[in-house]
Chains A and B, each alone.
Chain A
Amino acid sequence: MSLLHLAILLPFLSAVLIPFLFKGFRNIHTGWFVLLVPLVLFIYFIQYLPLTSDGNTVTKTFEWIPSLGIDFTAHVDGLGLLFALLITGIGSLVVLYSIYYLAKEKEALHNFYVYLLMFMGAMLGVVLSDNLIVLYMFWEFTSISSFLLIGYWYDRERSRYGAQKSMLITVFGGLSMLGGIVLLYIMGGTFSIQELINMSESLITDPLFVPALLLILLGAFTKSAQFPFHIWLPDAMEAPTPVSAYLHSATMVKAGIYLVARMSPVFAESGLWLWLVAGFGIITLFWGSFNAVKQTDLKAILAYSTISQLGLIMSLLGLGAAALHYDQLDDNIYMIATIAAVFHLINHATFKGSLFMMVGIVDHETGTRDIRKLGGLVNLMPITFTIAIIGSFSMAGLPPFNGFLSKEMFLTGMLSVFELDLFNLSTWGVLFPVLAWIASVFTFVYSIKLVFKTFLGKPQFDKLPKKPHEAPIGMLISPIILVSLVIIFGFFPNLLSNSMIKPAVEAILPSLVDSGQTVDVNIYFWHGFTPELFMTIGIIAVGALLYATLAKWQGIYNRIPERFTLNGMYDAGLSLSEKGSLRLSNAYMTGFMRTYLVYIFSFFVAILLSTLLIKDGFAIDTTDLAPIEFYEVILAIILVASAVTVIFAKSRITSLIAVGAAGYTVALFFVLFRAPDLALTQLVIETVSVSLFLLCFYHFPRISRNIERIGFKLGNAVISVLVGLTITLISISSFSSRSFESISQYHIDNVYDLAAGGNMVNVILVDFRGFDTLFEIAVLAIAAMGIYAMIRYRAAGGKEE
């Protein structure tokens, strides 16, 4: 186990200590101890930066289950390192923020930080694992820890609802991803991503390629809240704000993005991949931004905004796959889509993290997140306002912030579809830039709304639960660091380009690098009078107009009835499946023994008769039959008569007597067929059981004792006749097709020589097959003890009567 493995597992290992620290040092906020972990990891991972920017990778293997090909292989390349830095960097800031956000007196901090560290370790595991099974393990760890974090305030009903919803959706996706992983293993024979990438040429022709692609994408889409699986993210906003900032803006929702980027080299040659990833991304972008405008809760706006931004990154990753088809171009313009995706990924983490923290501050200091109650906070909370305005303008794509740069590159990427002439992109591809532009307009509207409705406008402090004031400095440090990054990346984007973006793009598009193309990342602020610039100007103009007239057109959101929204469908589907399965199990589990016997016998008849028919197994052979004797006929008639009496008797007592008669007739049969031991035993046992029956009858309640004759049911009659027929046919067939001689000759020959006995039945019972007898007497003993226990201890509490 190398240092790298220990680094990945460090959060898990340190999580063990948290409860002790929480109980042991009640005066110190537990978060301070936790802060060390991401900080140390961040410093550790920074050291890999020079390595990956030179195009090198580090792979360390720790054998876990070598016989199954499952090894804990840590693989650090540009993409993984970028994510690892995001996770640890933003993790440190979020922990710092949470120290001031969560009060150490009121909150169950030990739970919170254990879950958070679990999540951090799991995310690191996801982005640094090369083995798909290990990746899946960490993937589910993120689902579980996210579930725990969303339900952190478990006494709130909405928290539990949100946690359950996110759990169901992400685990559904996770399981289908596991299916995709297994299919990949079947195709390639390895769980290692790097090895699968090397054989991507041969995988694409495999019949399992498309199912694997779909299943993996399903996992990525559910995790990254892509349309229509985005519905869990807004409900996950019930979590504490540091959690929302960390999980639901910067890290976990990007696990799906990571997976798409990571698996791009394997799948991206296929047109299906390009269409699905880009298509779902662009729809999510549009739908998320369209819905964000109508929200009145600050966190809900940010949730839909996150959905929309994730869609943006996803669509860029999809279009970036087009680059693979033009490996001779010198200025491969499609590569810019991938570059933009990576760049926007970083930008989004910075500004969305700061915005969530800003919302947390507003919530913390005013007591509400409802945009209708807020307003005019600018004078009271100037620092928070500054953070908000930088974050929002970056999100809206305004200069001079980093969001502007990535938005321009995004538009360039979307416009490039006009030059694509593969996979029918030249026809339907027009939708991409159109949708992207409309979505950007909405993005502008909600970004402006977020700041203006909260901080500007008329103050209405009397509506607020608390008297608002500026947040403590500790709470402001993290968002200030993040918005400083927004500005720094905005002015000096090339700080990132060679150190982080280039190695990440090389990891997403390795085949291009292999074929000699260089990834040339150069991000300019000013790129001339290009179509993108005019589009941005258009966005600002139309967006401002829409914002000004917001009150006039907001009504369209109420046109969609609740039932037809995706949330409504999810809720209806959930309750429908609950009701449906309840109804289904109520339908067949009636609680009546009779019904279950009908199932058992019908199954029995169906299986045996159909086997007999299909295999043509019925045979009849009369050569071995013994001649029928007079006494046997008489006895058979008596037996049948008593059996018929049992069924048709008027009273139960008659049935009982008839059962006894049948039993004694069987004993007579034993006499006739020369089985004296059986006859003796049968006589005694029949006597005992008939008297036990009589005992039962004697103790019947009066009412049921008077019930006469069994009612006739056609179904029962048919089934019983069929069971009888089946047994008869099988008995005849098996008698007729006896293929071996009996082994009884051995017993006859050796009964005296080996066992010194004359009664062969008894010798078999105690000597040849004594083992069976041993357990039969054990059965008898158990039955006796059972009866004793049932009768003696039936009183409540096991007291003796």
Chain B
Amino acid sequence: MKKTNDVILQTVTKIITFMIILFSIDLFFSGHYTPGGGFIGGLMTAAALLLILLAYDIKTLQVILHVDFKLMTATGLLIAILTGTGALLFNEPFLKHAFDYINLPILGETSLHTAVLFDIGVYLVVIGVTMTIIQTIGESE
């Protein structure tokens, strides 16, 4: 199917993808304080993967990232549910979050929050869902 030499696109992709992924990780982690969060972060990561898909092809993406996205969706859901269930162990209602300020070796005083775990679940689900849909449609004739 490849007819043209996409060397510019592919080269740009190699550079841009990292930026997008970094941006998406930034969006994800800053979500609790500034705009962003699991949902938009996940979409952005998916966008980076999509770019690889466009510049190369599905096989390349699979070589780079050998992941079953359906499994990723399931993992994300599992993490989100387990985060909620974890609260039950401490005699708290389902999905009650906890946080504390901890002095980490490099980062200094940082707030660690169980809501981030929940957000990781959201993040994984969104990537998984988006990529499953795109991959499925792309692979079909």
Beyond A677-B40, A765-B37, whether A770 also contacts B125 by CB under 8 A is no
Residue among B27, B34, B111, B126 making CB contact with A756, cutoff 8 Å: B111
Beyond A759-B34, A762-B32, whether A780 also contacts B125 by CB under 8 A is yes
Closest residue of chain B to A695 (Cβ to Cβ) is B137
Which residues on A sit within 8 Å (CB–CB) of B70? 784-785, 788
A94 to chain B, nearest CB (A): 68
Segment touching B, from A25-33, A235-243, A597-605, A680-688: A680-688
Q: Are A784 and B129 touching (Cβ within 8 A)?
A: yes
Which residues on A sit within 8 Å (CB–CB) of B33? 757-759
Segment touching B, from A316-324, A368-376, A708-716, A771-779: A771-779
A684 to B42 Cα, complex, angstroms: 11
Which residues on B sit within 8 Å (CB–CB) of A758? 32-34
Residue among A684, A757, A765, A783 making CB contact with B129, cutoff 8 Å: A783
In chain A between 758 and 801, which residues have their CB closer than 8 angstroms to a CB of chain B?
Answer: 758-759, 761-763, 765-767, 770-771, 773-774, 777-778, 780-781, 783-785, 787-788, 791-792, 801
Q: Are A774 and B137 touching (Cβ within 8 A)?
A: no
Which residues on B sit within 8 Å (CB–CB) of A777? 76-77, 80, 121-122, 125-126
In chain A between 56 and 102, which residues have their CB closer than 8 angstroms to a CB of chain B?
Answer: none
Which residues on B sit within 8 Å (CB–CB) of A791? 136-137, 140
B90 within 8 A of partner (CB): no
Among B33, B74, B128, max chain A CB count under 10 A is at B33
Which residues on B sit within 8 Å (CB–CB) of A770? 84, 95, 97, 115, 118
How would you classify the secondary structure of chain B's contact residues: helix, strand, loop or mixed? Answer: helix
A767 to B114 Cα, complex, angstroms: 9
A748 within 8 A of partner (CB): no
B86 within 8 A of partner (CB): no
A13 within 8 A of partner (CB): no
Which residues on B sit within 8 Å (CB–CB) of A677? 35-37, 40
B43 within 8 A of partner (CB): yes
Which residues on B sit within 8 Å (CB–CB) of A676? 35
Which residues on A sit within 8 Å (CB–CB) of B137? 695, 787, 791
A784 to B36 Cα, complex, angstroms: 23
Which residues on A sit within 8 Å (CB–CB) of B44? 684
A269 to chain B, nearest CB (A): 67
In chain B between 29 and 52, which residues have their CB closer than 8 angstroms to a CB of chain A?
Answer: 30-40, 43-44, 47
A670 to chain B, nearest CB (A): 11
A755 within 8 A of partner (CB): yes
Q: Are A784 and B128 touching (Cβ within 8 A)?
A: yes
A43 to B119 Cα, complex, angstroms: 82
Q: How many residues of B contact A (CB 8 A)?
A: 45
Residue among B37, B39, B77, B99 making CB contact with A759, cutoff 8 Å: B37
Q: Mark B116-135, 1 if CB is under 8 A from A, else 0.
A: 00110110011011101100
B81 within 8 A of partner (CB): yes
Q: Are B35 and A759 touching (Cβ within 8 A)?
A: yes
Which residues on A sit within 8 Å (CB–CB) of B32? 756-759, 762-763
Which residues on A sit within 8 Å (CB–CB) of B14? none
Q: Are A787 and B136 touching (Cβ within 8 A)?
A: yes
Q: How many residues of A contact B (CB 8 A)?
A: 35
Beyond A766-B119, A770-B97, A792-B136, whether A781 also contacts B129 by CB under 8 A is yes
A801 to B125 Cα, complex, angstroms: 26
Beyond A780-B125, A781-B77, whether A684 also contacts B118 by CB under 8 A is no
Beyond A784-B70, A787-B136, whether A688 also contacts B130 by CB under 8 A is yes
A601 to chain B, nearest CB (A): 30
Q: Are A784 and B73 touching (Cβ within 8 A)?
A: yes
A801 to B137 Cα, complex, angstroms: 13
Q: Mark B11-36, 1 if CB is under 8 A from A, else 0.
A: 00000000000000001001111111
Which residues on A sit within 8 Å (CB–CB) of B136? 787-788, 791-792
Which residues on B sit within 8 Å (CB–CB) of A771? 84, 94-95
In chain B between 80 and 123, which residues have their CB closer than 8 angstroms to a CB of chain A?
Answer: 80-81, 84, 94-95, 97, 99, 111, 113, 115, 118-119, 121-122
Q: Are A784 and B132 touching (Cβ within 8 A)?
A: yes
A762 to B123 Cα, complex, angstroms: 13
Q: Are A755 and B80 touching (Cβ within 8 A)?
A: no
Beyond A684-B43, A781-B73, whether A773 also contacts B122 by CB under 8 A is yes
B124 to chain A, nearest CB (A): 9
Residue among B111, B122, B129 making CB contact with A766, cutoff 8 Å: B122
Closest residue of chain A to B113 (Cβ to Cβ) is A756
A801 to B136 Cα, complex, angstroms: 12
Which residues on A sit within 8 Å (CB–CB) of B111? 756
Closest residue of chain B to A684 (Cβ to Cβ) is B43
Residue among B74, B77, B115, B122 making CB contact with A755, cutoff 8 Å: B115
Among A685, A763, A781, A784, max chain B CB count under 10 A is at A784
Q: Are A766 and B125 touching (Cβ within 8 A)?
A: no
Q: Are A787 and B133 touching (Cβ within 8 A)?
A: yes
Which residues on B sit within 8 Å (CB–CB) of A757? 32-33, 113, 115
A292 to chain B, nearest CB (A): 75
Q: Are B35 and A774 touching (Cβ within 8 A)?
A: no
A365 to chain B, nearest CB (A): 76
Closest residue of chain A to B41 (Cβ to Cβ) is A680
Which residues on A sit within 8 Å (CB–CB) of B35? 676-677, 680, 759, 761
A685 to B39 Cα, complex, angstroms: 11
Beyond A756-B32, A784-B70, A787-B133, whether A681 also contacts B38 by CB under 8 A is no
Which residues on A sit within 8 Å (CB–CB) of B77? 777-778, 781
Closest residue of chain B to A676 (Cβ to Cβ) is B35
Q: Are A762 and B129 touching (Cβ within 8 A)?
A: no
Which residues on B sit within 8 Å (CB–CB) of A681? 39-40, 43
Which residues on B sit within 8 Å (CB–CB) of A761? 35, 37
A783 to B128 Cα, complex, angstroms: 11
Closest residue of chain B to A678 (Cβ to Cβ) is B35
Closest residue of chain B to A794 (Cβ to Cβ) is B140
A785 to B47 Cα, complex, angstroms: 20
A264 to B93 Cα, complex, angstroms: 66
A784 to B129 Cα, complex, angstroms: 5
Q: 18 new A-B pairs (CB below 8 Å) besides A677-B35, A685-B43, A777-B125?
A: A677-B36, A677-B40, A681-B40, A759-B35, A763-B32, A766-B97, A770-B118, A774-B81, A777-B77, A780-B73, A780-B126, A781-B129, A784-B73, A787-B132, A787-B136, A788-B70, A791-B136, A791-B140
A to B CB contacts below 8 Å, 12 in the list? A680-B36, A684-B43, A684-B47, A685-B43, A755-B99, A777-B80, A777-B122, A780-B73, A781-B73, A781-B74, A785-B73, A801-B141
7 closest A-B pairs by CB: A758-B33, A676-B35, A784-B129, A777-B125, A756-B99, A784-B132, A762-B37
> Which B residues have a C-beta under 8 Å from some C-beta of A?
27, 30-40, 43-44, 47, 70, 73-74, 76-77, 80-81, 84, 94-95, 97, 99, 111, 113, 115, 118-119, 121-122, 125-126, 128-130, 132-133, 136-137, 140-141
> Which A residues have a C-beta under 8 Å from some C-beta of B?
676-677, 680-681, 684-685, 688, 695, 755-759, 761-763, 765-767, 770-771, 773-774, 777-778, 780-781, 783-785, 787-788, 791-792, 801
